[in-house]
Structure 1
């Protein structure tokens, strides 16, 4: 009832899972990941214990294939389970029980595993594989996962239709303010086009929570500082004191309300923040 891709970034920093299904809130059930440990997707007649148990096995240093062997050997319901695992080193494996509803199957390679059940056919998994392997390694890891999920969706996806999608990405200290390992955790629980909606949410997430590219930052001085001061004043955040420092402080105040604080750099402005400020009424 689900198709998913589990993967590790080429540099080994990120692990993640993207999933879609004709099932309510699949993102609350399928993906599990831990920074520097690995990631897995448990689906079909999902055994939710596979999540914590699989991570525990991965923490011991077991490879993906051995984790699957250990989980399924101890599970009397293994014939109805489906599972994809990628370990800390990028080893990957996928498992499909013999009683999973057709079409069901999976593929795995270095750093990725793609699988699905109740699909229109094997072309769904093939499309996810091709999109992952053909993707730009320099593209954001989360976007590569969504790209692969979208390819599976466009190839037909779940043969029952669409309902939900989810995305989970982890990296050590990669989350909000560096205080969490959860980089992205987005869900579309019930939607007529969940994969497209997941992509839209990721766009918003990137704008609000990713740190700016230092190479693109603009000095908040001169004419630009004057423009920003005028825009902030119009928005009700007039600088409390004159000069560029006053503009910088007012900008930080406005950005905190707009949830853009992760993109703040003292004395400079991110073009994404500037564009957002220019669009505000």
Structure 2
């Protein structure tokens, strides 16, 4: 009922140190997907879907936070899940990627793994949905915010047909981005949800744009306070 993307990126922080960011984005032809499928922390990103088991996402992130590798963490959870044949679970950690699609997921279903990213989907119009999502992410401009690029990737999959259940008009989309870098003010656009709409990707993009504008306005208004906090940390 869903397609999603999880990514890990290395970048140089404001202080010149090497940092990592993790992101996950998802959309489906049902409301409230942001409450069920995407999970992220400064140690990784996970998406749980198909016949959703929220514990797989919650415990997956918990295991990553405790230092387990992503393959060990997620495979161990699936091994003890009696419903795994109907699950999709994928994600990225500090050390690699993992993707699983159970044999009893509904067509079209499948996943792809690339350098530092995974994409998975089920009940899709075809394989081209996950391929377009992956290709758009791979070709994205790393100078742009990851949140925006995740929306671009979802949009590409959506335009390829996305979720095939056209009789379900009420849809949803969500994204999460976490980073190892400590910032005085986290960008407002890194944790967004559109819970019930007929135009999930367009609405998520509009929400991102408004949140980005609000973030810039807040930085400008409280610039002196931010500088004082940065100086105090230094």
* TM above 0.5: yes
- Aligned pair count reads 213
**1:209: how far off?**
1.5
1:134 maps to 2:139: yes
**CA contact 2:129–2:161 (8 Å) conserved in 1:** yes
Indicate how the Cα distance of structure 1 residues 182 and 31 shifts in structure 2: closer, same or farther if over 3 A, else same: farther
Separation of aligned partners in 2, 1:49 and 1:207: 35
**1:85: how far off?**
0.9
**1:154: how far off?**
0.6
1:25 maps to 2:51: no
Of the three residues 51, 69, 86, the one matched with 2:75 is 69
1:186 maps to 2:192: yes
Of the three residues 208, 214, 218, the one matched with 1:261 is 218
1:165 maps to 2:185: no
Separation of aligned partners in 2, 1:181 and 1:76: 39
SS of 1:16's equivalent in the other structure is strand
TM-score normalised by length of structure 1: 0.71
Match of 2:158?
Answer: 153
> What is the CA RMSD across the aligned residues, in angstroms?
1.9
Separation of aligned partners in 2, 1:149 and 1:124: 9
**CA contact 1:68–1:95 (8 Å) conserved in 2:** no
**1:51: how far off?**
2.0
The structure with more radius of gyration: 1
Q: Which runs of 5 or more residues in structure 1 are unaligned?
A: 211-259, 267-281
Match of 1:115?
Answer: 120
**CA contact 1:173–1:181 (8 Å) conserved in 2:** no
Separation of aligned partners in 1, 2:145 and 2:177: 11
* Larger RCO, structure (CA 8 Å, separation 6 or more): 2
Match of 1:205?
Answer: 211
Indicate how the Cα distance of structure 1 residues 61 and 188 shifts in structure 2: closer, same or farther if over 3 A, else same: same
Match of 1:55?
Answer: 61
